[in-house]
Structure 1
Amino acid sequence: MTPRNRWWPRWKGLVRDDRGSETIAAAIVIPLLLMLLCMAIAGGRIVTSGAKIDAAAEDAARAASISRTQSGAQAEAAAAAARSLADQGIHCASSSTRVDTAGLAVPLGEVGTVTVTISCTVTMADLLLPGVPGSKTLTSRFASVVDAYRYREG
């Protein structure tokens, strides 16, 4: 027996065993990493949805500004907003489209604007993240210039 083998059995009981410490560390770190991942997904969903709702407001305002009547502008804006949101894959739990068509009532030769405001409630309940609301309402507004010399009614 070598000298090392003679004293090792005595010290073996005094040295702490590290088995299981990785499991405890993983049990602490993994939930924190999952929470961080869910927060990143929630933030990304809010940012991308906001940009897509901005684009839908632009499309709706443009559609309303080329309409010749105020009632037609309302219908065109609502249809363009719904089409744009659907094309971009945004599913709103609830949405509303408000159109200010006062710019269509100005006399020919004067510049008017049509303003569209879109509100969309984006759901985040599927993330199951504590402290994050189940949904967030995003609002976007865009104004489009009405052609000063294009014929329009009313």
Structure 2
Amino acid sequence: MSEYVTFFLATEDSEAAATRNRGPAGGVVGSFLSADDAVVMWESSLSGRSVEELWEAGVPRMVAPWVNDGSAVFALSDELTSRLLHADAAQLEALAAQWSASVTRDGDELAADVALRVVTGVAGLAREAIRAGWPVYCWVAC
């Protein structure tokens, strides 16, 4: 679980990776989230692929691997970005509720309204990403 989490856009992997030590300027902010677990759960839910299959396929793709201070940057898959882009409000609400319930089952806390804010915010980034032709990334730090 990371204390600081920001989903953001960057033109390419090297630009995104350069944020590892300082964090990006702007984006969708969250805190005390397991962001890598979250995006795998989201993709599993929206695509029907198992969490295990996604982990084995290298999802999410790290662009700045974890270092001792607990920071890293990873890219959301094109498939997840596309599925978030095409999800309607009801699908995003269901995804957020499922994510919040999953985190709670695992013994942590994630309020439903926070989950919905993050999911809808990242879906908004997906719309911007598709228009710009850029990937969506996530920066995490302890």
Question: Normalising by the residue count of structure 2, what TM-score does the alignment of the two structures yield?
Answer: 0.30
Task: State the structure with bigger RCO (CA 8 A, min sep 6), 1 or 2.
Answer: 2
